[in-house]
């Protein structure tokens, strides 16, 4: 019963984290870059949105501003990687660290900015889970449609090939460096956008929010793709799967809390979920691979004898 009460909240928050996971999907799955910027850029999105809303800016403008701030963070990571030759994983870590200072500055030096109980009109909020689910659902549907259209344009296809085969991309005249920067900007823009929705949902932005977001994003991707790849391995189904993965993740999360696990251990739980999803295919192949013979029709001794006669 308690669990059912917690379900709408889990779905609403799961949708928002699912949207963030779509941002991670673009860097991790399409560009083939494990981009650690997201731990910082989701918090940037939350901070920008919280500060703007608190100062009276309409919620939808705050959310767009958060998108741009996230995209800028992605550009920084992209340039560190492509223009300065820093390995992508390190470029992400550097950006993430820079963003901690940036986020503090956005919050005006405070570690928490709260706008709960104020007279702000928000797009979604914890106090009304059902309408939050509807609003988040519509926004996500719109973003999936835009991404779906984008990735079938001339530019979008080159973004896919950049991650899939950079050698082939250069051979076909594609500016791989530019594409990586562009992809990271889109990815982190979406992550910060999700952060802005999350800040509204929670009614606050905390400097420590978003730590471990990359792991939650990956968990949502693995959970989602494990199902969607079995249904139809195309782009839109994958994105919907990732959203579903976010929801499933938050339902598990809430369920575990209800079972009485201390919230202190939840980051450990997230990491274990991702480790399991990454390890299972490897373990299956490495330790449990069974030898399977191809079925060959047995040859009877009579046939062998007949063959022998023919030769004789």
Partner 1 sequence: MLKITDLQKTFNPGTVNAKTALCGLDLTLEDGDFVTVIGGNGAGKSTMLNAIAGVWKPDYGTIEIDGIDVTNMPEHKRAKFLGRVFQDPMKGTSPDMEIDENLSIAARRGTKRKLVWGIKKNERDQYRELLATLELGLENRLSAKVGLLSGGQRQAVTLLMATLRRPKLLLLDEHTAALDPKTAAKVLEITDKLVTENKLTTLMITHNMHDAIAYGNRLIMMHEGRIVVDVSGEEKKKLTIAQLLGLFEKASGSEFANDKVMLSK
The yes or no reply on residue 309 touching partner 1 (CB under 8 A) is: no
For residue 134, the minimal CB distance to partner 1 (Å) is: 30
Which of 1, 56, 117, 171 binds partner 1 (CB under 8 A)? It is 171
Q: 193 with 70: CB under 8 angstroms?
A: yes
∠ CA 19-20-25, rounded to 5°: 95
Q: Count interface residues toward partner 1 (CB under 8 A).
A: 22
Which of 37, 161, 200, 228 binds partner 1 (CB under 8 A)? It is 161
Give the single-character DSSP code of 260. T
Q: How far apart are the first and last CA of the chain?
A: 84
Cβ proximity to partner 1, 172 vs 305, nearer residue:
172
Q: Two tokens at 51?
A: 């500060």
For residue 214, the minimal CB distance to partner 1 (Å) is: 22
* CA 38 – CA 92 distance, rounded (Å): 8
Cβ proximity to partner 1, 164 vs 303, nearer residue:
164
Rounded to a whole number of angstroms, the CA Rg of the chain reads 24
Which of 54, 120, 170, 211 binds partner 1 (CB under 8 A)? It is 170
Query: By C-alpha distance, which of 44, 33, 17 is closest to 181?
Result: 33
> Which residues have a Cβ under 8 Å from the Cβ of 118 and sit 6 or more positions away?
54
The label of the residue with tokens 């470029």 reads: 91
176 to 215: interface string for partner 1, x by CB under 8 A:
x---------------------------------------
Which of 119, 167, 287, 292 binds partner 1 (CB under 8 A)? It is 167
* CA 264 – CA 173 distance, rounded (Å): 50
Cβ proximity to partner 1, 30 vs 213, nearer residue:
30
From the list 11-19, 113-121, 163-171, 282-290, the region that binds partner 1 by CB under 8 A is 163-171
Phi/psi for 262 (5° steps) reads -65, 140
* CA 105 – CA 99 distance, rounded (Å): 9
- 3-state class (DSSP) for residue 295: coil
Which of 101, 111, 121, 172 binds partner 1 (CB under 8 A)? It is 172
* CA 76 – CA 289 distance, rounded (Å): 44
Positions in 101-160 near partner 1 (CB under 8 A):
150, 152-158, 160
For residue 160, the minimal CB distance to partner 1 (Å) is: 6
The yes or no reply on residue 174 touching partner 1 (CB under 8 A) is: yes
Which of 168, 272, 276, 279 binds partner 1 (CB under 8 A)? It is 168
Which of 175, 226, 251, 261 binds partner 1 (CB under 8 A)? It is 175
* Binding interface with partner 1 (CB under 8 A): 150, 152-158, 160-161, 164-165, 167-176
């Amino acid at each position: 019963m308690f669990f059912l009460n917690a379900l709408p909240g889990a779905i609403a928050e799961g949708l928002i984290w699912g949207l963030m996971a779509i941002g991670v999907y673009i860097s991790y799955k399409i560009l083939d870059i494990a981009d650690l910027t997201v731990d910082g850029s989701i918090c940037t999105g939350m901070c920008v949105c919280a500060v703007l809303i608190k100062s009276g800016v309409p919620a939808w403008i705050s959310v767009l501003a958060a998108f741009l701030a996230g995209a800028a963070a992605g550009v920084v990571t992209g340039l560190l990687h492509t223009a300065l030759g820093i390995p992508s994983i390190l470029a992400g870590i550097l950006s993430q660290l820079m963003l901690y200072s940036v986020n503090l500055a956005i919050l005006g030096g405070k570690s928490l900015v709260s706008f709960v109980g104020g007279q702000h009109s928000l797009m979604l909020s914890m106090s009304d889970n059902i309408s939050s689910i509807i609003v988040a659902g519509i926004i996500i549907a719109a973003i999936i449609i835009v991404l779906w259209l984008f990735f079938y344009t001339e530019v979008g296809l080159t973004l896919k090939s950049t991650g899939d085969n950079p050698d082939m991309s250069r051979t076909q005249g594609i500016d791989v460096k530019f594409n990586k920067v562009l992809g990271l900007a889109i990815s982190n823009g979406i992550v910060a956008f999700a952060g802005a929705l999350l800040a509204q949902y929670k009614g606050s932005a905390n400097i420590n929010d978003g730590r471990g977001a990359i792991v939650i994003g990956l968990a949502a991707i693995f959970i989602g793709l494990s199902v969607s790849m079995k249904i139809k391995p195309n782009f839109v189904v994958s994105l919907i799967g990732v959203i579903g993965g976010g929801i499933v993740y938050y339902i598990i999360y809430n369920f575990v809390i209800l079972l009485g696990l201390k919230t202190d251990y939840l980051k450990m739980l997230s990491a274990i979920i991702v480790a399991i999803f990454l390890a299972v295919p490897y373990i299956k192949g490495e330790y449990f691979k069974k030898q399977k013979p191809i079925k060959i029709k047995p040859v009877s001794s009579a046939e062998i004898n007949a063959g022998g006669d023919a030769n004789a």
